[in-house]
Amino acid sequence: MRLINVPFVIITCATLLGIVVGHYCSITLSSSILLFSISILVLTVVWWRSKKIFSKGYYFGFLTPLIFILFGIALIKIHDPKNNSNHYTNQIDSGVFLLNKVGVKFHIAERLKSTTYYDKYIVSLHILNQKFVEGNLLLRLPKDNTNGILEIGETYSFLGKITPIDKPLSPHQFDYKQHLSNQKIFHQATASTNLLIRHKDIQWSIFRIADQIRKDINQKLKKYSFNTRQLSIINALLLGQRQEITQETFNAYRDAGAIHILAVSGLHVGILLLIINWITSPLKFSRNGKHISVLLSIILLWCFAIIAGLSPSVLRAVTMFSFLTIGIQIQSKTSIYNSLCVSMFVLLCFNPSLLFSVGFQLSYLAVFSIVWIQPIMAKTFHPRFYITKKLWETFTVTFAAQLGLLPITLFYFHQFPGLFFISNLIIIPTLGLILGLGILVIALAYTTIPSQAIILIFKTSIDTMNNIVIWVSQQKSFLITDISFSWKTLITLSLVICTSITLFKKYQRRKIYWLVVSLNLFFTGLIIDKYIVDTKEELIIFHTNRNTVFGVLKNQKLNLYHKDSLSYQNHNFLLKNYLIQNKAKIDSTYTLKNIYRYKKHTIQIIDRSNIYSLKGLQPDILLLSGSPKIHLERIIRDVQPKQIIADGSNYKNYIDQWEKSCTTLNISFYRTDKKGAFLLKQ
């Protein structure tokens, strides 16, 4: 069996590197295309003068990575919608978005998971200020009892403001703005449902057809009296839609280490392919039956991918399994690594921004880890009995995936579920049963065939899976949380895992040296991170609505000062990530006073008491809190501060007026509602 096609792996890796470089560098589209064209021309000339270029490998080894790095750069620039002259950001001055209302016509492209206060959609623009435009926006509709779900493909218009998406206002919070920017969504609009004008024209696409199919399936399933949780699990497992999953259910699966079950990925598609192969197996005995079976399998896989919403994980899985199915049919002696690289390369050619999707990264890393690590683990033990053999296979697959994903999951999610193997050992073997029963139930929903027994088994299976996950997630002593993990630790731990696996696979003395080097780098990174957090000192004024909160961090302890006490939800939202990143804990909490001294700075808080002039006091920082009714220009003349700060406890119109006064008097003004938390380190 031929192993990895090394040149193609190099091509894929070089393209990935080019996409990353192109994403973060400011090179223009024309420059990237010019450089790529020149490199192709150079390669052509060299090949023409020496036709043995590829057999020698010297020029190939140097030029091919360079060419595909440039190809990756050009690829990300070509797919950047801002380089399209019809994109809305190029059609209208950005100041109009902030100051004036604009007329917008659009259709619904995607429905996102709702938040506490808003229903959210991705919309595709048609007309903006009477100009034909392209591009996507985030549409937020405030929740009320009259809100209905807007269907994909429906066309609407409204008059309102388009604003930039808010950046995180507290340190280390999830950057939703960057997340949407990676999907080429740069602005948002907020409108009430009653202000939307619906048009008769419908934008038909495969996404609308898939949405209508999902809607019809849900209507058919309702006659079987599935409860809300069961229906949300069915939508997640079989239809790829997680919008209705409650936060409680999501947290339970996350804490149990089974969150991948809720996202349709390679596991689900692989099981589905086995089911399809079993159903189509009789065709293989007929003339041309194998070809028909392969074609039918690929068609059904892509139909499932479309219905599941063409998410990055589904695209990756279906693309990879399509190549695998074709490879098996033509008896190609290629490795699964090549199939992974081919599927990744094809997907990124169509949408290079997928590389920055966390789901895409987790999906590919999980499959690569299983393919690489699981066979090595499986050889260490050979069970005699069928049941123990299957349990061992399931355990090795689960452990391999978790080991490969360990660095990136710690980096993104800061926790590790210690009992992941228990939930996966029980859930993964039964997932095939649930998927098979689900497909059968959906098929029976379109017939009049009695199916109460099957429905009961299906409901019981879902409830059993949920109960197991909930039980595992409640074993909090096995859940390691609040793990601080930097990008340096991510890289060095990945090196430790890779060198350990290669050494375990085949012992060689030089591999021990590589393992020792990677371990030294890992521990050095930990020591550097510990030194940074141990010596970090700062005063931070947080942004929070209708409250003033600031803290003093020293020796990994945070002393917290607040005007009003924080609720549990606000406490987590405001402080959790900040404490994790700094490996800190709250030492004490105090009620807010009016005067504080931090190092060389004197900080005075002016609130509604309007007390600002104190004998002998010369504050260099004024913190405005609670929308005090003051004459700021007079205060500036009397106190002469160097810095004025307005936090989220103030009315926005007050802050706007204060900012104008400070600009006039040339005094530094900082507003947390736009700039985020204020940090004072010296």
**Residue pLDDT, tens place only, 65-84:** 888 888 888 888 888 888 88
Per DSSP, 615 falls in state T
Confidence band of 166 (pLDDT split at 50, 70, 90): confident
Short-list 651, 648, 595, CA closest to 628: 651
Let me know the angle formed at the C-alpha of 452 by 446 and 457, rounded to the nearest 5 degrees: 110
- Count of other CB atoms within 10 angstroms of residue 600: 7
Q: Which amino acid would we find at residue 149?
A: I
Cβ–Cβ under 8 Å, residues 590 and 561? yes
Confidence band of 1 (pLDDT split at 50, 70, 90): very low
Alpha helices in 547-639 (DSSP H): 568-581, 632-639
- pLDDT number for residue 3: 47
For 271-298, the pLDDT digits (tens) are 788 788 778 777 767 777 777 888 888 8
- Count of other CB atoms within 10 angstroms of residue 226: 19
Tokens coding 380: 């260490």
- pLDDT number for residue 678: 93
Sign of CA dihedral 286, 290, 295, 299: positive
Has this prediction a pTM greater than 0.85?
A: no
Please tell me the number of Cα atoms within 13 Å of 631 on its side-chain side.
4
For 79-137, the pLDDT digits (tens) are 888 888 888 888 776 555 556 788 899 999 988 888 888 889 999 999 988 889 999 99
Compute the distance between CA of residue 457 and CA of residue 110 in angstroms, rounded to an integer. Answer: 33
For 526-584, the pLDDT digits (tens) are 999 899 988 999 999 999 888 999 999 998 999 999 988 888 777 888 888 899 988 89
Q: Which amino acid would we find at residue 127?
A: I
Short-list 306, 298, 127, 115, CA closest to 201: 127
Output the 3-class SS for 477-526.
HHEECCCCCCHHHHHHHHHHHHHHHHHHHCCCHHHHHHHHHHHHHHHHHH
Percent of the chain's residues with pLDDT above 70: 91
Compute the distance between CA of residue 433 and CA of residue 399 in angstroms, rounded to an integer. Answer: 22
Distance of CA 43 to the CA centre of its chain: 38
Compute the distance between CA of residue 286 and CA of residue 251 in angstroms, rounded to an integer. Answer: 49
For 597-633, the pLDDT digits (tens) are 898 888 999 888 766 666 667 888 999 998 988 888 8
- pLDDT number for residue 365: 85
- pLDDT number for residue 659: 92
Compute the distance between CA of residue 375 and CA of residue 390 in angstroms, rounded to an integer. Answer: 14
- pLDDT number for residue 126: 92
Indicate whether 53 pLDDT > 60.
no
Compute the distance between CA of residue 122 and CA of residue 109 in angstroms, rounded to an integer. Answer: 5
For 636-669, the pLDDT digits (tens) are 888 888 999 999 999 999 999 999 999 998 999 9
- pLDDT number for residue 396: 85
Residue 59's SS3 state is helix
Instruction: Give the residue carrying structure tokens 């399931």.
Output: 394
Which DSSP string corresponds to 425-475?
HHHHHHHHHHHHHHHHHHHHHTS----HHHHHHHHHHHHHHHHHHHHHHT-
Exposure string of 369-392, with b = 16+ CB inside 10 Å and e = fewer, is bbbbbbeebbeeeeeeeeeeeeeb
Instruction: Give the residue carrying structure tokens 């005075």.
Output: 604
Cβ–Cβ under 8 Å, residues 107 and 123? yes
The overall average pLDDT reported for the chain is: 83
Sign of CA dihedral 7, 13, 17, 22: positive
For 6-29, the pLDDT digits (tens) are 567 788 888 888 888 888 887 777
For range 140-168, the mean pLDDT:
84
Cβ–Cβ under 8 Å, residues 321 and 293? no
Confidence band of 139 (pLDDT split at 50, 70, 90): very high
Residues in CB range of 222: below 8 A, 6 or more apart: 231
Q: Is 17 exposed, middle or buried (0-12, 13-18, 19+ CB in 10 A)?
A: middle
Q: Which range (34-43, 125-134, 301-310, 448-457) has the least confidence? A: 34-43
Which DSSP string corresponds to 225-293?
T--HHHHHHHHHHHH---TT--HHHHHHHHHTT-GGGTS--HHHHHHHHHHHHHHHGGGGGSTTHHHHH
- Count of other CB atoms within 10 angstroms of residue 593: 8
Confidence band of 473 (pLDDT split at 50, 70, 90): confident
Cβ–Cβ under 8 Å, residues 230 and 459? yes
Q: Which amino acid would we find at residue 521?
A: L
- pLDDT number for residue 145: 56
Residue 385's SS3 state is coil
Compute the distance between CA of residue 232 and CA of residue 226 in angstroms, rounded to an integer. Answer: 9
Indicate whether 517 pLDDT > 90.
yes
For 391-401, the pLDDT digits (tens) are 888 788 888 88
Higher per-residue pLDDT: 484 or 57 = 484
Strand pairing class (585-591; 557-562): parallel
